[in-house]
Amino acid sequence: MKIQGKVHKYGDHVDTDVIIPARYLNTAKPEELAAHCMEDIDKTFVEKVQKGDILVAGVNFGCGSSREHAPIAIKASGISCVIAKNFARIFYRNALNIGLPILECPQAGEEIAAGDEVEVDFDSGVITDRTTGKSYQAEPFPPFIQNIIAKGGLLASLK
Amino acid sequence: MAMTMTQKILAAHAGLDSVSAGQLIEVNLDLVMGNDVTSPVAIHEMQDKGFHEVFDRERIALVMDHFTPNKDIKSAENCKKVRTFAKDYGISNFFDVGQMGIEHALLPEKGLVISGDTVIGADSHTCTYGALGAFSTGVGSTDMAAGMISGKAWFKVPSAIRVKLTGKLQKYVTGKDVILHLIGQIGVDGARYRSLEFTGDGIASLSMDDRFCIANMAIECGAKNGIFPVDEKTLAYMQGRTSRKPVIFEADEDAPYDETVTIDLDTLKPTVAFPHLPENTHTVDSIDDIPIDQVVIGSCTNGRIEDMRAAASVLKGRKVAEGVRCIVIPATQTVYMQCIEEGLTQIFVKAGAIVSTPTCGPCLGGHMGILAAGERAVSTTNRNFVGRMGHPESEVYLASPYVAAASAVTGKISCPCELD
């Protein structure tokens, strides 16, 4: 499976409190959460983001709280994939569990710039920056993770 | 093959003789926990996918602590959903207003987690129970749902950092200063995906409340769990709280550790983490005057009885500075009652502080003490991210109950030694 989209770029340690502030955690409705996604670090994100866009960030993306509302908000905002130098562990699990594809790739996290058009091939783990022409190799998902994604999430895969 | 303490607990729960770092395993869970923010999502997922049974009604704990007493209609609806679920599915460990406390103070207090257990909780500070010599870690709502259904969870076996504690804490220095110091040293991702295993002769002098506080903030350096060996204090704490028998695991002498960090408790000083990351630590004696608007003393990190006693020892016979709002939140009903019985509540109120019913409230900017733009708080909580306690332009400084109480009195970030 391949996706392509425009990049929104953020730095290191993007925490779940800025991805979706706790003041909005009284709901779990994806569209309501998406309306406030990234609000505390980038007020313009919600207006800028287009369906299929890609989020690129530095180290420890998603650190902090275990709120699954964070990947839910990102996914519902239209983001098709998050690429980061690396992820905080709870966010990593949560994202895959709800079917938000995420890839770890330090070089891509460093070099890909805001506004670039990027293509991601989930089967091979190849990330291609169409704007600069550069390609990056991320680790493709192991079979059991592929199974969770293919079934549409962890719970569906239990059935 | 030699194993860390964490690896031994995981191996036992996976039915394996040994495990090694990086291995993917499926483990049996002793307890699955969720709160009023994360459980509704898990319940929705479960029911949406057609699961109508849980693996064990006795081994699920649902604690209504984050936005309770219900702060608004949506929060009330969330609690109602969990309450209905608990009733319909016969979940015995459902803690509503009146019985509830902040989850990570409440569960050990109720004896629901003991040494040797493996626990997941849909709250990042679930790592708190490592203080009891249990493996416990935070997960999201979907993992919680899967855990409630199957009683199992998959994990990548973590490697570990050994944190060797030597010496003894000095006056006004607490477990909070130990963990803030450690996070300052290794950074907010310094233990990402790994265990923190505390060892050394310094542990003996740490109270259980110190250990809970330290294990609680393991997640703030990215750790999967933070764990203490079981000693006489641990066993004494569990005495009378449970009918289950604790299982004591010990790391092998030649257990593989990625690295060892040594902290000398003798020389440790009261420490504060500046906005907007818990790694931005400074010793209180090294900072300039930082005027404050609010003090919060409570949370799953520092809302236990020793924390209340520490704060009260500073506030006794003193007044909260003009222009400062001081909010004290005992973490559970038991702690709340102890505060009354020991006369701490009277000290707080006389000093001009308020004493709230247990709630996570202000820690995550939920309710009961939200900050306006430009306001600054000293808080005994665990995170100081942008917007954590309210407006994105507010600031949170993390510190111990001693420092928080002293700051309330002086109106600026202070050590109680300045008041002696």
For residue range B3-58, list pLDDT tens digits in order: 999 999 999 999 999 999 999 899 999 999 999 999 999 999 999 999 999 999 99
| pLDDT tier for residue A156 given thresholds of 50, 70 and 90 | confident
Model-wide pTM > 0.95: yes
* Residue in B closest to A68 by C-alpha: B140
| Alpha carbon of A9: minimum distance to chain B alpha carbons (Å) | 18
* Cα gap B101→B119, rounded to integer Å: 18
Burial degree of B316 (CB within 10 A; 0-12, 13-18, 19+): middle
Helix (H) or strand (E) holding B44: helix B39-48
Q: pLDDT tens string for chain B (420 positions)?
A: 899 999 999 999 999 999 999 998 999 999 999 999 999 999 999 999 999 999 999 999 999 999 999 999 999 999 999 999 999 999 999 999 999 999 999 999 999 999 999 999 999 999 999 999 999 999 999 999 999 999 999 999 999 999 999 999 999 999 999 999 999 999 999 999 999 999 999 999 999 999 999 999 999 999 999 999 999 999 999 999 999 999 999 999 999 999 999 999 999 999 999 999 999 999 999 999 999 999 999 999 999 999 999 999 999 999 999 999 999 999 999 999 999 999 999 999 999 999 999 999 999 999 999 999 999 999 999 999 999 999 999 999 999 999 999 999 999 999 999 999
Name the residue among B69, B58, B9, B1 with its Cα closest to residue B36.
B69
pLDDT grade, residue A159 (50/70/90)?
Answer: confident
Q: Please state, in angstroms and rounded to a whole number, the distance separating the CA atoms of residues B266 and A44.
A: 49
Do the Cβ atoms of B413 and B290 come closer than 8 Å? yes
SS3 state of residue B64 = coil
- Residue B322: burial class (beta carbons within 10 Å; 0-12, 13-18, 19+): exposed
Q: Could you read off the pLDDT of A61-111 as tens digits, one per residue?
A: 999 999 999 999 999 999 999 999 999 999 999 999 998 989 999 999 999
B22: left (phi over 0), alpha (psi -120 to 50) or beta: left
Q: Which of B44, B67, B141 sits opposite A26 (nearest CB)?
A: B67
Report the C-alpha gap between A91 and A89 in whole angstroms: 5
Q: What are the sequence ranges of the domains in chain B?
A: 5-263, 272-419
Report which residue type is found at B232: E
SS3 label, residue B373: coil
Its CATH architecture, for the domain B5-263, is: 2-Layer Sandwich (3.30)
Partner residue opposite A156 with nearest CB, options B37, B49, B67: B49
| Residues of A with Cβ-Cβ distance to B224 under 8 angstroms | 89
Task: Please give the structure tokens belonging to residue B148.
Answer: 């409630």
- How far apart, in Å, are the Cα atoms of B280 and each of A76, B182, B226, B272? 33, 11, 20, 8
Token output for B263: 């902290």
Chain A interface residues facing chain B, Cβ-Cβ under 8 Å? 13, 15, 17-18, 21-23, 25-28, 39-41, 59-60, 63-69, 71-72, 86, 88-90, 93-94, 97-98, 144, 153-156, 158-159
Instruction: Return the exposure string of B146-185: e unless at least 16 CB atoms fall within 10 Å of the residue's CB, then b.
Output: bbbbbbbbebebbbbbbbbbeeebeebbbbbbbbbbbbbe
Q: How far apart are CA B365 and CA A39, in angstroms?
A: 15
Which residues make beta-bridge pairs with B282?
Answer: B272
B119 touches chain A (CB under 8 A): no
Length of chain B: 420
- For domain B272-419, the CATH superfamily is Aconitase, domain 3 (3.30.499.10)
Reading the block at residue A100, the tokens are: 């938000």
Q: Does this chain's domain B5-263 share its CATH topology with B272-419?
A: yes
SS (H, E, C) A43-75: CCHHHHCCCCCEEEECCCECECCCCCHHHHHHH
In this prediction, residue B357 carries a pLDDT of 97
ipTM: 0.94
CA distance B189 to chain A (A): 6
Residues from chain B contacting residue A89 (CB–CB below 8 Å): 192-193, 222, 224
Residues of A in contact with B146 (CB under 8 A): 154-155, 158
